[in-house]
Amino acid sequence: MKIAVCGKGGSGKSTISALLAKQMAKTKNVLVLDTDESNYGLHGQLGLAAPRDLMEYFGGKQGFKQKQRAPKTAPLGGLAVPGALGGQPKSRFFEERWSFSGLPPEFVEEKGKIRLMAIGKIHEFGEGCACPMGVLTREFLENLDLTENDIVIVDTEAGVEHFGRGVAKDFDTILVVVDPSFESLKLSKKFDELGGQAGNRVFFVLNKVEEDIKGELLEAVDSSKVAAVIPADRELFRASLKGAEFDIELEGIAKLAEFLDKN
């Protein structure tokens, strides 16, 4: 299953991604794919070192752009990865299909049943836009083979750009993280619309919810699509503020993992 965690900036996408990964790793093999080029803290929430940008595997942005311009009839992916599955690749970037066991180890940080990879970050002034990262995200997801015990959780960049790039078609489920703000509620409706166009299942995760506004939030969205309600939690807030690993179990996250497992 490939799950995208979407939302506006500051809604708690990375927090939900990290907590959900830790919960689902109790029974599944989990790959967290960081596709947010401006988020530098997800690895810390998982208790891992920051992974190398997968973009480097393809020669960085410039090398990737050269491969992007090459004819599709002549795949120019990186070196074959031990453990990769056979079969025809779906893009010019990969010579072989990849599985969890065949991911290039130098680009993966691992702890227990959780693996973390990052598509790429903006590191230098003037290095160019993040467009190649969106292409690589789409190509990577299309080329990845999963077993029934494998889960991919994609922490997306804020907003809806990944829908414009066509990345969303590779997701089985979209979780829209909605915080208590007018902007987040408005954007959630756009996510629902775009997800429907892409053929995705779309569910809402209400986050940072105080009990006295819970009813108002449920009225503001399609309550039939609410997969979980995550209360505001001071301990979680303090851990986030310090960039510390999340060592917190929330009932709402456990229910969310159960919901996804059943649906």
Domain locations along the chain: 2-74+107-262
Residue 53 DSSP label: B
pTM: 0.87
Q: Which CATH number fits domain 2-74+107-262: 3.40.50.620, 3.30.930.10, 3.30.590.20, 3.40.50.300?
A: 3.40.50.300
Tell me the pLDDT tens digit for each residue of 4-57.
Answer: 999 998 899 999 999 999 999 999 999 999 998 777 789 999 999 999 999 999
Query: What percent of the chain has a predicted confidence (pLDDT) above 70?
Result: 88
Task: Tell me what the pLDDT averaged over the chain comes to.
Answer: 85
The set of long-range contacts for 95-102, using a CB threshold of 8 Å and a minimum separation of 24, is 97/143, 97/144, 97/145, 98/140, 98/143, 98/144, 98/145, 99/144, 99/145, 99/146, 99/147, 100/29, 100/31, 100/146, 100/147, 100/150
In angstroms, how far is CA 114 from the centroid of its own chain? Answer: 13
Mean pLDDT of 237-245: 83
Strand partners, 153: 3, 32
Q: Which residue has the tokens 């029934």?
A: 148
Tell me the pLDDT tens digit for each residue of 250-259.
Answer: 999 999 999 9
